[in-house]
Structure 1
């Protein structure tokens, strides 16, 4: 799991929300790749609650380098 607080879901792409891309650097994560950050629940003020499934890159140093570039 990550020690960082997850970014607000409203700032993420669909690919990031579904775990297809890293929630930090947007890198595409293939099947079985990346670290699962666990199911997250959102309860929007004006809609039904739903789940999202963030993942992050397994290589934190490379991820941070991509995030800053």
Structure 2
């Protein structure tokens, strides 16, 4: 698997931050197949620090294609 830097949490939807959607292509994820990217701590300039839970699609090629085309299925 290729290692990718996570996008800035401030640019992600709530669904992406909570691991309900792919952190890169925003496609909905299922519990059994999503790739867990580990808990991530975010310390905003203002406000309290918090944890977020990114997950990714199991098929990296399909994910990359959706990311380019904007297809979220």
Q: Under a length normalisation based on structure 2, what TM-score does the superposition of the two structures give? A: 0.88
Alpha-carbon distance, 1:2 to partner: 5.7
- Taking the TM superposition and a 5 Å limit, the aligned residue runs for 1:1-69 are 3-69=3-69
Taking the aligned partners of 2:24 and 2:44, their CA distance within structure 1 comes to 22
Equivalent-residue separation in structure 1 for 2:58 and 2:31 (angstroms):
13
| Stretches (4+) displaced over 3 A | none
Residue 45 of structure 1: SS of its match in structure 2?
A: coil
Shift of 1:33: 2.2
DSSP 3-state at the match of 1:51? strand
- The answer to whether the Cα contact below 8 Å between 1:2 and 1:37 also exists between their aligned partners in 2 is no
Offset at residue 53 of structure 1 (A): 0.2
TM-score normalised by the chain length of structure 1 = 0.93
Q: CA deviation at 1:31?
A: 1.8
